[in-house]
Each structure stands twice: as structure tokens, then as C-alpha cells.
Chains A and B, each alone.
Chain A
Amino acid sequence: GAGVSQSPRYKVAKRGQDVALRCDPISGHVSLFWYQQALGQGPEFLTYFQNEAQLDKSGLPSDRFFAERPEGSVSTLKIQRTQQEDSAVYLCASSSGVNQPQHFGDGTRLSIL
């Protein structure tokens, strides 16, 4: 597609449920990033993929967060046993290579009740 696509746009879940957020990067982009953005804050880095390899997951806040990109294109961010503090906008970005400008999706707004 023309840009980075994220789904769903909005997700409401009850505390304790598992959620899965999807990111379709720009075709051919080898680099893929996930960020968490709290209200009124800048995006916080979660994890980075180069093709299918997860090279940096230092930003994942706990072992409840898991990301994968098995075929080097679509990526899924999974959050297990969700907590209220997980409520945020989750952004995905892709780029054509390391240190190249990132193209962002519109994000998934996650609300945990």
C-alpha cells in the first residue's frame, strides 16, 4: 500500500485480556518500529525489527509485551494479561533502512477498562 497501515484503529479490552495489534509496513521497507504514546507525550520506543530479526526489544515494558515479524513484512504486537497502564496509542513505523526517515501509521488507540 501507499503507507503504513495499522489495525484496528481502536481497541477496547477488559483488564486481563490479551490483545493483538497489527502493522502492515510500506512494501519493501526492511526496518519496522513499534512505539507507545501516552496522552500528551512523545512516542516511546518499544522494539525494532530489521526484516524478520528483532534487533532491539529494550523498550518493551514487561514480559507481557511480545512482538513478531515472522516473514519480514507484517508485524504483530501482542500484549498479554492487559493492565490499565497499557492504555495508550501504539504506533508502528517503517523505513527503507537504518537511520532513514520513518513513516508512521495512524496508530491503534488501546483502552483497557
Chain B
Amino acid sequence: GNSVTQMEGPVTLSEEAFLTINCTYTATGYPSLFWYVQYPGEGLQLLLKATKADDKGSNKGFEATYRKETTSFHLEKGSVQVSDSAVYFCALSVDTGGFKTIFGAGTRLFVKA
């Protein structure tokens, strides 16, 4: 079946540290991959996406590359800020006649000043 596995949190970093949040997936067919972010007190919002192998999604200094050979879509940022503290969700969508989206469990990131 289709599933998403992401690293457990919480992840605690100091400001300006390098961030990696691992995400791997299993899917039938050719999924599109997404990272969503949920800031404290706010709703889920799309951070970045990639729709085919070797695509790189990027936004707000975050990047993730669709790696078909390792079925991964790891999220990275070179220098985190306190304002990046949030919960990050990796997700995939597949055409099952309805493009069901499957989310990982989320990884909470705390960034200390």
C-alpha cells in the first residue's frame, strides 16, 4: 500500500543550525510528494512540492529532492531561524481515482535563539 514514514520528533536545534528531516515513502505508481508545515496556532500550509523523480522543491530556504531510487524526500534547510519552529508533515498523493493524500505523522521542530 501507500505510506509515508518520517523521523520522529521533537527535533531541537539552535538558530543557524543545519536542518534535515527524513522522509521515506512507499507508493504504487508515480506519486507527487509534498512538505506541509503547521505553525503554532495556524492551519496546515504547503511548504514545497515535487511531482516527478529528481525534481527539487524549494521555498523559504527549505529544499527537498524527489529521490525515486531511495524512495525519499528529505527536507533540508541550511540555517534555521526561531520562526521555523513548527510541525512539518511529509505527504504523497497518488491517483486512485481521487488523488488521496497520505500524510506522515509529523515532526515537531523547536529552534532556540
Contacts and interface: CB of A to CB of B under 8 A. Distances in A.
Interface of A: 4, 31, 33, 35, 40-45, 48, 50, 55-56, 58-59, 91, 93, 98-99, 101-107
Given A91-B44, A104-B43, A41 B99 contact: no
Contact of B99 (A4, A42, A59, A98): A98
B43 A48 contact: no
Contacts, number: 62
Contact of B101 (A4, A41, A45, A50): A45
A33 B100 CA distance: 9
B46 A101 contact: yes
A42 B51 contact: no
A102 B100 contact: no
Interface of B: 4, 32, 34, 36, 42-46, 49, 51, 89, 91, 93, 95-106
A55 B98 contact: yes
Contact of B45 (A40, A45, A104): A104
A99 B43 contact: no
Contacts of B45: 103-104
Given A44-B103, A56-B100, 5 more contacts: A35-B103, A42-B105, A48-B100, A56-B98, A98-B95
B101 A101 contact: no
Contact of A48 (B4, B51, B98, B105): B98
Contacts of B49: 101
A103 B49 CA distance: 13
A6 B96 CA distance: 26
